């Protein structure tokens, strides 16, 4: 392969069909941000929108804002926008609560549909909160449910008649390895098992086809690729075929058929609204709406193509610029099997990442030894990949990461 230089990388930005979207973000000068998979960048519209909701809506109209400004419709309105990104109908998606809480609600709902089966099947690479919620639910139910973990490659073979629910994250948060959602759904359907997919690293990073692949349930984050801001509300998806018969256990008044009748007995609303629990966080939802607006006019297949091209470029440049510097690729080299990130193992990964951040290249670290670089095609440029790899090379060649301040672990890595 020919040798690449910075000019060749920057030239790719000239032909980028998504270049227009970068201007929708307020990105700090001098920073290369490769962590939109943990916390999306700030959309330019967000501060003014929040200010408007606070001063002009809340400040001026007080409680009448719930009707006057459609605050009460936010969970469905935002759900409909997310539905477009994940291959769902608008009446199958709603924004509410956190991803963790939504795992609890939907896993409960799914287990009710398979009362005779006791196994929740997941893989050893799944995100811990999903696994913890499953353990907590099994404990609460006290009916002998158990969470069974197998390696990601063994999932399909393990799906059998005893499995109630297959609980998986499509894109492995550490390595970026992608599960074959269509194939796993087909296998689950054949065995009578239900699927619950976590789209934390998929929604907004690539096209997802929940309806087309026959997914039963899904959940995902608002603050990663959807750019909703720190702690943004999450979303959940329930396939139409389950909307009528499925019930979740958190009987809150926003899931009641007539919340403002103030009846003493719970009666679930019809449709996706029964998956709501309490009052929506209006300010956070206003911020998430701005995050979703950054996708206006964006073609998701172009988004995916750029995301994979950025990943391929990173892999090629690290191989070219950093041989013998202790980095081992931890992500699939085959783009089709990857999400929108590339990870490298390094024996001193934490300190290396801190030294990189000190140089203005922000990725993150995942235990035990992974440097993680996320690509957000709406604002990541090809030249950024060159600059990030150049900084990585310097950090490793000069041994900058060995400075004592870089090995002090902060609470959030
Ligand atoms: C980020 C992430 C979560 C986070 O859940 P919260 O309830 O928002 O803290 C859950 N699952 C996966 C796969 C994630 O990557």
Place of tokens 């549909």: 113
CA angle 171, 175, 180 (to 5 degrees): 35
Q: Give yes or no: residues 160 and 21 share one domain.
A: no
Short-list 398, 413, 387, 397, CA closest to 32: 387
Residue 409's pLDDT is: 85
- Contact between residue 339 and residue 127 where contact means Cβ atoms under 8 Å apart: no
Q: What is the pLDDT of residue 413?
A: 83
User: Is the pLDDT reported for residue 376 higher than 90?
Assistant: yes
Q: What percent of the chain has pLDDT over 90?
A: 97
Taking residues 68-89, report their average pLDDT. Answer: 98
Do 221 and 195 sit in the same domain of this protein? yes
Enclosing domain of residue 272: 48-293
> What is the Å distance from ligand 1's center to 128 Cα?
8
Average pLDDT of span 283-310: 98
Domain C-terminal end among 274, 293, 312: 293
Q: Tell me, what's the pLDDT at 412?
A: 86
333: Cβ contacts below 8 Å, ≥ 6 apart: 315
Q: Which of 233, 262, 293 is the last residue of a domain?
A: 293
Structure confidence at residue 220 (pLDDT): 98
At 390, give phi and psi (nearest 5°). Answer: -60, -40
pLDDT in tens, 117-160: 999 999 999 999 999 999 999 999 999 999 999 999 999 999 99
Domains identified in the chain, total number: 2
> Domain holding 355: CATH number?
3.90.1150.10
Query: 161 falls in which pLDDT band (50, 70, 90)?
Result: very high
Residue 305 confidence class, pLDDT cut points 50, 70, 90: very high
Quick check: is 375 catalytic? no
Distance between Cα 223 and ligand 1 center (Å)? 10
CA 226 – CA 200 distance, rounded (Å): 9
Please tell me whether residues 23 and 121 are part of one structural domain: no
Whether residue 279 lies inside any domain: the answer is yes
Average pLDDT over residues 289-309: 98
* Ligand 1 probe mutation, 36, 39, 99, most atoms within 8 A of CB: 99
Q: Is the pLDDT of residue 259 over 80?
A: yes
Of 237, 260, 293, the one marking the end of a domain is 293
Residue 1, pLDDT above cutoff 80: no
Instruction: Say whether 84 is catalytic.
Output: no
Q: Is the pLDDT of residue 166 over 80?
A: yes
Q: Is 260 a catalytic residue?
A: no
Residue with tokens 């609980």: 167
Give the mean pLDDT of 292-306: 98
Tell me what the mean pLDDT of segment 193-219 comes to. 98
Band the pLDDT of 197: cuts 50, 70, 90: very high
- 269 and 305 fall within a common domain: no
Radius of gyration of the chain (CA): 22
pLDDT of 408 > 90? The answer is: no
Q: How far apart are CA 9 and CA 1, in angstroms?
A: 15
Are residues 203 and 97 located together in one domain of the fold? Answer: yes
> What's residue 411's pLDDT?
86
Q: Which of 198, 216, 273, 384 is catalytic?
A: 198
| Residue ID of nearest Cα to ligand 1 atom 2 | 200
Q: State the pLDDT at residue 410.
A: 85
Burial 119-144 (b: 16+ CB within 10 A, else e): bbbbbebbbebbbebbeebbeeeeee
Torsion over CA of 62, 63, 65 and 66, rounded to 10 degrees?
160
Averaged pLDDT for residues 59-67: 98
Question: Is residue 173 within 6 Å of ligand 1 at its C-beta?
Answer: yes
Q: Are 245 and 132 in contact (CB under 8 A)?
A: no
Which member of 24, 45, 158, 224 is catalytic? 224
State the pLDDT at residue 140: 98
Exposure string over 397-407, b if 16+ CB within 10 A, otherwise e = eeebbeeeebe
Question: Is 413 inside a domain boundary?
Answer: no
pLDDT per residue as tens digits for the range 316-353: 999 999 999 999 999 999 999 999 999 999 999 999 99
Identify whether 308 is part of a domain. yes
How many Å lie between the centroid of ligand 1 and the Cα of residue 395?
A: 30
Burial classification of residue 293, based on how many CB atoms lie within 10 Å of its CB (0-12 exposed, 13-18 middle, 19 or more buried): middle
Residue nearest to atom 5 of ligand 1 (CA): 99
CA of 18 to the centre of ligand 1 (A): 27
Distance, CA of 299 to CA of 295 (rounded, Å) = 8
Per-chain mean pLDDT for the chain: 97
- Same domain flag for 350 and 263: no
89 and 183 inside one domain: yes
The rounded Å distance from CA 224 to ligand 1 centre is 9
CB 94 within 8 A of CB 234: no
Instruction: Find out whether 159 and 193 touch, Cβ atoms under 8 Å.
Output: yes
Q: What is the pLDDT of residues 215-258, one digit of tens each?
A: 999 999 999 999 999 999 999 999 999 998 899 999 999 999 99
- 127 Cβ inside 6 Å of ligand 1: yes
Q: Is 223 a catalytic residue?
A: yes
First to last CA, the chain: 36
Residue 157 lies in a domain: yes
Is it the case that residue 2 has pLDDT exceeding 90? no
């Amino acid at each position: 392969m020919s040798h690449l230089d910075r000019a060749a990388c920057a030239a790719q930005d000239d032909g980028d069909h998504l270049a227009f979207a970068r201007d929708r973000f307020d990105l700090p000068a001098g920073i290369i941000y490769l962590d939109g998979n943990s916390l999306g960048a700030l959309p330019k519209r967000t501060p003014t929108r929040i200010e408007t909701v606070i001063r002009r809506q809340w400040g001026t109209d007080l409680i009448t804002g719930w009707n006057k400004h459609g605050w009460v419709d936010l969970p469905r309105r935002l759900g409909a926008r997310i539905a477009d990104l994940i291959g769902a109908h608008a009446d199958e998606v709603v924004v509410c609560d956190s991803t963790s809480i939504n795992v609890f609600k939907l896993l409960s709902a799914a287990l009710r549909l398979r009362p005779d089966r006791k196994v929740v099947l997941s893989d050893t690479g799944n995100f811990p909160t999903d696994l913890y919620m499953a353990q907590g639910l099994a404990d609460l139910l006290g009916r002998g449910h158990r969470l069974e973990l197998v390696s990601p490659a063994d999932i399909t073979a393990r799906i059998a008649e005893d499995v109630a629910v297959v609980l998986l994250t499509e894109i492995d948060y550490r390595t970026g390895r992608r599960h074959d959602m269509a194939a796993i759904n087909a296998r689950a359907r054949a065995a009578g098992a239900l699927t619950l997919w976590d789209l934390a690293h998929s929604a907004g990073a690539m096209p997802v086809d929940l309806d087309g692949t026959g997914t039963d349930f899904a959940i995902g984050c608002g603050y990663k690729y959807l750019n909703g801001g720190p702690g943004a509300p999450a979303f959940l998806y329930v396939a139409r075929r389950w909307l009528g018969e499925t019930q979740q256990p958190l009987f809150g008044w926003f899931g009641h058929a007539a919340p403002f009748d103030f009846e003493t007995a719970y009666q679930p609303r019809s449709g996706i609204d029964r998956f709501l629990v309490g009052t929506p966080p209006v300010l956070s939802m206003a911020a998430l709406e701005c995050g979703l607006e950054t996708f206006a006019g964006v073609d998701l297949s172009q988004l995916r193509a750029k995301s994979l091209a950025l990943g391929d470029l990173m892999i090629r440049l690290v191989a070219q610029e950093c041989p013998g510097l202790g980095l081992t690729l931890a992500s699939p080299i085959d783009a089709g099997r990857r999400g929108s990130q590339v990870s490298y193992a390094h024996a001193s990964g934490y300190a290396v990442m801190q030294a990189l951040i000190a140089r203005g290249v922000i990725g993150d670290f995942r235990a035990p030894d992974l440097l993680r670089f996320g690509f957000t095609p709406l604002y990541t440029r090809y030249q950024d990949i060159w600059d990030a790899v150049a900084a990585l090379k310097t950090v490793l060649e000069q041994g900058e990461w060995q400075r004592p301040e870089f090995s002090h672990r902060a609470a959030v890595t």
